[in-house]
Amino acid sequence: MKSRRLLITLCAVAMLAILGYLWLAPAALKTAPDIGLMTLDGKELQLASLHGRPVLVTFWATTCNSCVSEIPHLIELYDELAPQGLEIVAIAMDYDPPNRVLALRKARNIPYPIALDIQADAAVAFGNVRLTPTSFLIAPDGGITHQRTGTMNMAAVRRDILAMLASTRTDPATASP
């Protein structure tokens, strides 16, 4: 009898966990939304203006340990591949105080653009992102090829980006003007 109750309890907990994940996970998108972002430097960044190159969009928060631990890997990726055409755009969640985002950027010397999503417009446009880190790899044609909630497999992401960069050098249809 006890084992049956335990089994029922475990099944109920598993079901709640699955439903919770499905509710919190962003909706699967096929193409990147055409959104405008305001960077910490006060520049307007239209995601569509990056068409023709691979873009890694990552939603993060200063209070997210996994997000902060990914920063050195993202900086390394950016330093290596930005000269070849990669763009990384970090989007701070709406609940993240701007002064903390600015302080972390300065402390970590983050070279890629960081946008504040004060009204959560970007999070909604990307399928209602609620969990961090959540990342989207956007191909040069605007299609989302990789979406991940949680820490990224940087080796796999790097491999995918290198393949995209190689194809943009050989395919004039995807090369930026």
pLDDT tens digit sequence for 61-78? 999 999 999 999 999 999
Q: How far apart, in Å, are the Cα atoms of 133 and each of 56, 114, 130, 176?
A: 12, 14, 9, 29
The answer as to whether 8 is a domain residue is: no
| Range name among 4-13, 17-26, 28-37 with the lowest pLDDT average | 17-26
Total domains in the fold of the chain: 1
Which of 115, 119, 121 lies closest to 42, judged by CA?
115
Ramachandran angles phi, psi of 87, nearest 5°: -125, 135
The answer as to whether 6 is a domain residue is: no
The answer as to whether 153 is a domain residue is: yes
pLDDT at 128: 94
Count the neighbouring beta carbons within 10 Å of the beta carbon of residue 79.
Answer: 11
The answer as to whether 51 is a domain residue is: yes
The answer as to whether 127 is a domain residue is: yes
pTM above 0.75, yes or no: yes
The answer as to whether 20 is a domain residue is: no
The answer as to whether 89 is a domain residue is: yes
Domain span including residue 67: 28-170
For position 147, which CATH number holds? 3.40.30.10
Q: Confirm if 151 and 69 have CB atoms less than 8 A apart.
A: yes
Provide CB contacts within 8 A for 114, sequence distance 6+: 39, 40, 89, 90, 91, 92, 101, 105
The answer as to whether 3 is a domain residue is: no
Q: What is the mean pLDDT of the chain?
A: 87
- Exposed e or buried b for every residue in 105-143, given b needs 16+ CB within 10 A? beeeebebbbbbbeeeebbebbbebebbbbbbbbbbbbe
Question: Does residue 21 have a pLDDT over 50?
Answer: no
pLDDT tens digit sequence for 124-168? 999 999 999 999 999 999 999 999 999 999 999 999 999 999 988
